[in-house]
Amino acid sequence: MFSRRTYKDKVKNYIIDLILAQKISPGDQVKEKEIAEILKISRAPVREALRELIAEKILEYKPYKGTFLKKNSPKEALDIYITRGLLEGYAVVDALEHNLKKIRKLSNIVTKMYKAALKKDHKKLIEWGNQFHNLLIDGCSNKLLLYETKRLGLICHILFFNYWPRIYSPEQIKTRHNNILHILKKRDKIQLEHIIREHYFETGGKISNLIKAG
């Protein structure tokens, strides 16, 4: 027997999968009744999932109209990436000693990201990228910071999913993540925080410019 929370999480994952499969585009309505019918569950957990995704800035509620996949402005996209970069930079430095034990695993993930990018397997690239960055921060001792960083990570990866082929080649994806590992091995906390921030600032700037260009 599934708990109500399990159903709510199932709904969230279902909606995220629809977004990553590009079956929902920014501005499209996400209908509570329709999802409940497809998943064969009551509307209560669907409503809870929608509320969470609205709080996470992935969906937006428009009074008297409904819930829609959020269209981010250039400024919003840039702010999301800047904030994630600031939080992750601190978290990675805080988790430095834990991360030094994960170098080989992180390196293997970069290889998998590169292969996924070569195949233009968008979903796998996002999944491996999410695993890489979550692994970097998982040793952070500040649980609130960890929560907020991961929360922003979801919307970052949705944005990246839509734009990455236009901003980075597979080789650049591999190089950018290997550069992080290179600084990590040096144990230089200042450089490490800086490269993490720039990793996000650069991508946010590129995505913001693409949104401006339409």
Model confidence at 4, pLDDT cuts 50, 70, 90, reads low
CATH number for 116: 1.20.120.530
How far, in whole angstroms, is CA 122 from its chain's centroid? 13
Q: At what angle do helices 143-167 and 122-137 cross, to 10 degrees?
A: 150
In this model, does residue 44 exceed pLDDT 80? yes
d(CA 140, CA 95): 5
Last residue of a domain, one of 37, 69, 101: 69
Query: pLDDT tens, 127-176?
Result: 999 999 999 999 999 999 999 998 898 899 889 988 899 999 999 999 99
Query: 96 and 50, same structural domain?
Result: no
Q: What percent of the chain has pLDDT over 70?
A: 98
Query: 52 and 85, same structural domain?
Result: no
Last residue of a domain, one of 13, 42, 69: 69
Query: 144 and 57, same structural domain?
Result: no
Query: 51 and 28, same structural domain?
Result: yes
**CA gyration radius for the chain?**
18
d(CA 58, CA 60): 7
Last residue of a domain, one of 69, 100, 115: 69
Query: 79 and 33, same structural domain?
Result: no
Which three-class secondary structure state does DSSP give residue 63? Answer: coil
Beta pairing partners, 68 = 29, 60
Query: 84 and 65, same structural domain?
Result: no
Structure tokens that stand for 39 in this block: 């998943």
Query: pLDDT tens, 172-198?
Result: 999 999 999 999 999 999 999 999 999
Query: 88 and 35, same structural domain?
Result: no
Task: Tell me the residue range of the domain where 134 lies.
Answer: 74-213
In this model, does residue 88 exceed pLDDT 60? yes
